[in-house]
């Protein structure tokens, strides 16, 4: 039985984590990006307003996607973690800045992050040339 190739795209300039996971794993034509939060390139958490943390998280996601040969326009599914339910309206507003119709499939979960993060996002994407 033929199995699709598995690769772990990684380049300098993408955020690192001290936790045991890869930033992205590509299996065939699917790219699975691990949760990206408001961290700097060394993995240190950068606390900010909800908007600030959202923007840093999605820029980290964009960097990992680019390393993997993809971009936000090729995201097919997002999983979103919003600490405070009152931030969901702002989340939807900001989300529309980065994703346009037809939107990726999406799951959003609230009240799930510790006190040190306000937002985190992971995704599934396809390559730009795929």
In order along its 130 residues, the chain shows pLDDT tens digits of: 777 788 777 777 777 777 778 899 999 999 999 999 999 988 899 999 999 999 999 999 999 999 999 999 999 999 999 999 999 999 999 999 999 999 999 999 999 998 999 999 999 999 998 6
Q: pTM (2 decimals)? A: 0.91
Assigned domain for 80 exists: yes
Assigned domain for 15 exists: yes
Assigned domain for 51 exists: yes
Task: Give the per-residue pLDDT at 130.
Answer: 61
Indicate the number of domains in the chain.
Answer: 1
**Angle CA(94)–CA(20)–CA(48) in degrees, nearest 5?**
30
CATH no. for residue 70? Answer: 3.30.1330.40
Range of the domain at 11: 6-125
Assigned domain for 130 exists: no
Task: Give the per-residue pLDDT at 9.
Answer: 76
**Measured between alpha carbons, how far is residue 37 from residues 81, 82, 101, 112 in Å?**
10, 11, 24, 13
* 122 close to 33: Cβ distance less than 8 angstroms: yes
Assigned domain for 1 exists: no
C-alpha 28/C-alpha 127 separation (Å) is: 10
């Amino acid at each position: 039985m033929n199995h699709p190739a598995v690769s772990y795209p990684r380049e300098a300039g993408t955020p690192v984590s001290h936790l045991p996971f890869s930033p992205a794993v590509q299996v065939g034509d699917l790219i699975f990006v691990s949760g990206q939060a408001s961290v700097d390139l060394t993995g240190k958490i950068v606390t900010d307003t909800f908007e600030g943390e959202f923007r840093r998280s999605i820029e980290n996601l964009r960097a990992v996607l680019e390393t993997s040969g993809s971009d936000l326009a090729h995201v097919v599914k997002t999983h979103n973690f919003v600490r405070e339910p009152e931030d969901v309206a702002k989340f939807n507003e900001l989300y529309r800045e980065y994703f346009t119709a037809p939107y990726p499939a999406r799951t959003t979960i609230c009240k799930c992050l510790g006190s040190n993060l306000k937002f985190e996002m992971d995704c599934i994407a396809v390559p730009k040339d795929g």
